[in-house]
Amino acid sequence: MKVALLGYSGSGKTTIVAALSGKRHESFDPLKPAVVNVKIHESRLKTIADIVKPQKTTEAEITLVDMKGVQESTGFDEKLIEIAVLQDRIAFVVPSFSAEKKGASELGSLYLEMIYRDQERIKNILEKRRDEILHGKRKKGMEEDFLKKCLSMLEQEKFLSSLEMDSQQKSFLGSLGLITAKKFFVIVNGKSDPEIGNSCQMYNLGFCQIDAENVDNHQIDLFWNQFLKAAGLIRFYTILGKETRCWLLPEGSTVLDAAATIHTDIAAGFVRADVVKFEDFTALGSFSACREKGLLRSESKTGIVNDGDIIHIHSTR
Ligand SMILES: Nc1nc2c(ncn2[C@@H]2O[C@H](COP(=O)(O)OP(=O)(O)OP(=O)(O)O)[C@@H](O)[C@H]2O)c(=O)[nH]1
Ligand SMILES: [Mg+2]
């Protein structure tokens, strides 16, 4: 799971990555951003491990892509946007640590930059298609109408991710490299700011907050909770032999997706999954105690995973 950090210069992206990874990573070539794997330090895994006492606990990892910022007055180069589009999620990073920095106004500029970029891109795509239709190289299809609908959405200053789409339209949009079709959220670097909160609400973006230069373990735990929620990610846990482990999944994923995250073989031989809630497991202390109380769910492939589920997959492999 790769998350691009996108924000204007000095918003604190590199400082955030340092606070979360424990080490400062610098890249001096904007087209080769620092790509840093960060372990998600969080308290639930520790609570489970205190009960299970495994030989090994393994935290979930997330990859942060620290994009070099630009001045707000300059705007992002297309090449930088293209790097961001390749990531799974994009976080706008806005500053809230000094009176000179206006995070809410930076957020507004970032938001509009993405909208204008996609408007231009769709206009170019439509023009090219019109040309091809005119010269008999392409038949007019549903795509042109759909693209016009997308354009009108952008003209209303709305991200394409908020458009109702079927899976075919989704993959069509995905193939066009449109940035506003991606899942975005906001990281506020510094103290919480109601003005930034209001903007996030207006733009329909989830947000999380970190004071990157003053973090302690408790704050990091809270931050990851907020971050994952805003990014539309959930955590599930496995207790397998010697190892207790935390994993990430996009929200709405099935137990089969969970199996595939662990290993493609486990997914291929999937039979069923036993699932208990973190709260039930920690209150009762074992899977068997949860089963006795009727608190163990037996799920088929399509069962949905919830944040905090502890999953035991039965597989023929
Ligand atoms: N007080 C305070 N200062 C911060 C915080 N985060 C960053 N700074 C300061 O802001 C400056 C820029 O931080 P960076 O993390 O390098 O910013 P960046 O977003 O990576 O900037 P670019 O790489 O140029 O895009 C540094 O001098 C940091 O010390 C914070 O949470 N609190
Ligand atoms: Mg930086």
Question: pLDDT digits over 143-171, tens only?
Answer: 899 999 999 999 999 999 999 988 888 88
Q: Decide whether any atom of ligand 1 lies within 6 Å of the 189 Cβ.
A: yes
Contact predicate 184/90, CB 8 Å: yes
Number of domains observed in the structure of the chain: 3
- 204 within domain boundaries: yes
**Do 25 and 66 share a structural domain?**
yes
Protein residues with C-beta less than 5 angstroms from the ion ligand 2: 13-14
- 52 within domain boundaries: yes
CA 8 to chain centre: 20
**Mean residue pLDDT across the chain:** 95
Q: Decide whether any atom of ligand 1 lies within 6 Å of the 10 Cβ.
A: yes
- What pTM did the predictor assign? 0.94
Report the separation in Å between the CA atom of 252 and the middle of ligand 2, taken as the mean of its atom positions. Answer: 33
What are 13-53's pLDDT values in tens digits? 999 999 999 999 988 899 999 999 999 998 999 999 999 99
- 311 within domain boundaries: yes
State residue 293 phi and psi, 5-degree precision.
-85, 5
**Do 258 and 218 share a structural domain?**
no
Task: Say how many C-beta atoms besides its own lie within 10 A of residue 306's C-beta.
Answer: 14
Report the separation in Å between the CA atom of 220 and the middle of ligand 2, taken as the mean of its atom positions. Answer: 20
Q: Whose CA is nearest to atom 11 of ligand 1?
A: 10
Q: In what order do the strands lie in the sheet with 61-66?
A: 34-39, 61-66, 2-6, 89-96, 183-190, 206-210
What tokens appear for 130 in the block? 């019109």
Q: Closest ligand 1 atom to the C-alpha of 211?
A: 31
Query: Which residues span the domain enclosing 23?
Result: 2-103+181-230
β-pairing, 89-96 vs 297-299, is unpaired
**Do 208 and 88 share a structural domain?**
yes
